[in-house]
């Protein structure tokens, strides 16, 4: 699915390039700045996100909002009404995601809840309008909480010591979190995302060890990337 998403992005860029080039040479006369063209900035990433992201709720909501705004710009819907409902719709979606965050995901959610209850250490790191570069080289890693608000966090676990299953609670709000994991670790993800998501770019093999890193992510106009 992720590769298909990359193919879609490639097709979109090729089509846009051909249209601009054709217009410049006088071969075509396609107006790419039609009424509501800017809604494509919302629609296209959300549509492609349906194929790339594990968590699709935010992309579905974004796609519906983008289409509603496009129809409004075309005069098919009342623009003022649609615009007034966008922000309340986002708030409702975020609220629903928070309420059901711990009830969906089945076995993974239960394991994350158990690991959070049994955590002995309270390692919490927050980057607000700033950045943090964390390394746990040679340390016994037992889990952590990462928060990025209009900022970025890089958490490097590649040389850490992980002797049991651990959980990383990652919250990204208008920010980004990069988690670099050891090659021999299994990764399981649960995310609640609105206009954002989790990208798992770790290379997996049959040699992955017996322990698992659970990623418990919340993304609001932000992202978490696993490398």
Same domain, 40 and 79: yes
Same domain, 123 and 15: no
Same domain, 123 and 70: no
The residues, any chain, with a CB within 8 Å of residue 225's CB and separated by 6 or more, are 176, 177, 178, 179, 198, 199, 201
Same domain, 200 and 150: yes
Tally of domains in the chain: 2
User: What is the sign of the dihedral through the CA atoms of 156, 119, 152 and 132?
Assistant: negative
Same domain, 96 and 198: no
197-222 pLDDT, tens digit each: 788 877 766 566 778 999 988 888 88
Which of 47, 75, 100 delimits the end of a domain?
Answer: 100
Question: What's residue 15's pLDDT?
Answer: 86
Same domain, 96 and 115: no
Q: Which pairs from 132-139 meet CB under 8 Å and 24+ separation? A: 135/159, 136/160
59-88 pLDDT, tens digit each: 777 888 888 888 988 888 888 888 888 878
- 149 and 130 in contact (C-beta within 8 Å)? no
What range does the domain containing 13 cover?
Answer: 2-100
Confidence bin at 28 (pLDDT 50/70/90): confident
Residue 155 has pLDDT above 90, yes or no: yes
Please tell me the distance from the alpha carbon of residue 124 to that of residue 37, in angstroms, as a whole number: 42
Which of 34, 67, 100 delimits the end of a domain?
Answer: 100
171 vs 48, more confident? 171
Mean pLDDT on 112-124: 78
Which of 100, 125, 144 delimits the end of a domain?
Answer: 100
Look over the chain and give the mean of its residue pLDDT values, rounded to a whole number.
Answer: 82
Please tell me the distance from the alpha carbon of residue 48 to that of residue 199, in angstroms, as a whole number: 13
Strands 186-194 and 166-173: unpaired
Same domain, 87 and 157: no
Question: What's residue 149's pLDDT?
Answer: 92
Residue 102 has pLDDT above 60, yes or no: no
Give the chain's largest Cα–Cα span: 68
Q: Radius of gyration of the chain from Cα atoms? A: 21
Among the listed residues 213, 163, 206, 225, the one whose alpha carbon sits nearest the alpha carbon of residue 186: 213
Residue 2 has pLDDT above 60, yes or no: no
Question: What's residue 55's pLDDT?
Answer: 61
- Kind plus residue range of the DSSP H or E element containing 85: helix 79-100
Residue 153 has pLDDT above 90, yes or no: yes
- Terminal CA-CA length for the chain: 18
Same domain, 8 and 86: yes
Same domain, 217 and 146: yes
């Amino acid at each position: 699915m992720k590769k298909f998403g990359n193919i879609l992005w490639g097709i979109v860029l090729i089509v846009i390039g051909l249209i601009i080039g054709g217009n410049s040479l006088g071969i075509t006369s396609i107006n790419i700045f039609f009424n509501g063209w800017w809604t494509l900035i919302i629609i296209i990433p959300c549509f492609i996100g349906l194929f790339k992201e594990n968590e699709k709720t935010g992309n579905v909501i974004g796609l519906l909002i983008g289409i509603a705004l496009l129809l409004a710009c075309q005069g098919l819907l009342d623009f003022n009404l649609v615009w007034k409902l966008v922000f309340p719709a986002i708030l409702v979606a975020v609220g629903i995601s928070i309420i059901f965050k711990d009830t969906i995901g089945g076995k993974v959610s239960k394991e994350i809840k158990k690991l959070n209850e049994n955590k002995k250490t309270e390692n919490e790191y927050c980057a607000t309008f700033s950045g943090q570069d964390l390394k746990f080289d040679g340390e016994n890693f037992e889990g952590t909480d990462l928060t990025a608000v209009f900022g970025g966090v890089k958490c490097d676990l590649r040389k850490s010591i992980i002797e049991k299953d651990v959980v990383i609670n990652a919250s990204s709000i208008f920010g980004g979190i990069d988690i670099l994991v050891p090659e021999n670790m299994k990764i399981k993800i649960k995310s609640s995302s609105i206009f954002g998501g989790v990208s798992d770019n770790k290379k997996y093999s049959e040699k992955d060890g017996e322990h698992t890193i659970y990623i418990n992510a919340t993304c609001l106009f932000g992202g978490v990337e696993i490398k």
